[in-house]
Structure 1
Amino acid sequence: MLDRTCVLTLSCPDRPGIVAAVSTLLFEAGCNILDAQQYDDIETGRFFMRVVFARLDGAQTQEAIAAGIEALAQRFAMTINLSEQSRKKRVLLLVSKFDHCLADLLYRWRIGELPMEITGIVSNHERAAIASTDIGDLPFHHLPVTRQSKMEQEAEIWRIVQESKTDLVVLARYMQILSDGLSAKLAGRCINIHHSFLPGFKGARPYHQAHERGVKLIGATAHYVTSDLDEGPIIEQDVERISHRDTPGDLVRKGRDIERRVLARAVSHHLEDRILLNGKKTVVFTD
């Protein structure tokens, strides 16, 4: 049934009858709802929903179901996304010298934990700089960048994204700030891991900033990239307790573990269509 299973996500102004309308449409189309989650944001007056459903024998065609959902979207002013669960999203990974997040994503991909197709790896450093990570025969693009060449380098990244039909770009500790132009082009489909529990300690050397302040918790934040540095909608976060005995180096070491698991969870949520944008925030439907 996997190749006949779809995920529908939607958001719209809240009003009575939305759940009933979606359920009725899918029932009349010959589908069976396998999982459904919903959320009413009282502050904004918006409604969010994620539905996993399967087409049964004798069900309408995928095209007919999509047309019905589109008509429903117009009726309720919905923003919708409909995807086949069997179709793996195509993902481009960007990395600099710190390759622990890259290595973790590749491991989870190889064991089948992250259902995605990797379209390539882009780095502003030569492949030797991430020699500790086995990237196999995945396409590797060395795109060095300077202040003078930034626009040309980003144009090449965008070319790779388009030609490879990439659905999602992951900044796996890619230590370059994307321009406003590229951030806009990748809106809603570019995830960054920031080695800090945002919104605190933004920018460079956050662990050293945290050490100087004597914090007792450090963390990491995965968020969608926007033109506002480290201000994009937050997807996932985690923390770890530290003490006065920990040096900045200890914080960096412990932080690597947090970064790996936070980024992996954020990527997994995106691959499974669990994230819906809610202004500057997100609604994440977890299990």
Structure 2
Amino acid sequence: MRQPQGAFFAVVPKQHGAWTVLIASFIIGSSVGARFSLEVILLLVSVVAAFLGRGALGMCLSLSPAERRTQGLSAWIMLYSGIFLLSGAWLVLWYKLWLLGLLGIAGMGLAAFSLSLEKGKKDATLYGQIMNILGLSLIAPAAQYCASGSHSLKTLGVWLVCIFFFLGSVFHVRFLLRRRLEAGGEFVERLAAGSVSIAFHLSALLAVMVLSKLKVIPLFAPLAFVPVTLKALWPIIRRNRNPLPVKLIGRLELIHTLVFLVITVVVFADR
């Protein structure tokens, strides 16, 4: 029989990118909220439990009934669901953070849709990745609202900047991994292959500039998107005959996420 510790690690999602989005969104949201409290800790417990439960449920859908019993997935799903619902209900009912209820419902809806895509082997498609980003990035406004105790345009703004940034990473990585041959070709080939990524990053930069002008986000918030926009343009400007290793791409994405996190926290704090 599988040992409990082994069973636990078996149901922990292995998607490093998803963990990065979850953790970064939580740090940004709670930092922008500018108050670390029991409510914020409860929110972290709730979202991690929801994420683990969604991972266990996704694994459950891909296994036979006999394999599910061997893994003990039903017990893990019930445990994570219970923690998520209990901590979430505590936040909504005891602390009267009503918006968390709506965000939770939206998150569960996106998670259910993501699971349906995963069951149909479509979770790795662009559409599936977009759905995952939309769901995980909801943690940012939830954390900001939970930490500050109120919602405002800043709540919307912190969600939008997270969506733009993490979706940009999706487009950039897909270009590097799925268009490797073109990425090492001539300038025209590189430009054509990376056009979607470039268009998205430039549009995101323009969008955050407009949002800053409308005072939805701080004036200097667009600075957080300058490094990633340059990152998207660099493979087009400079020819790299040898495709980047997957691990190196992952490390570079992590570095850019850390840079984005620091700049975003600083500019929102100065608002």
TM-score range, shorter chain: 0.3 to 0.5
- Select the structure with the greater relative contact order (CA < 8 A; seq sep ≥ 6): 2
Larger-Rg structure: 1
Q: Tell me the TM-score normalised to structure 1 length.
A: 0.31
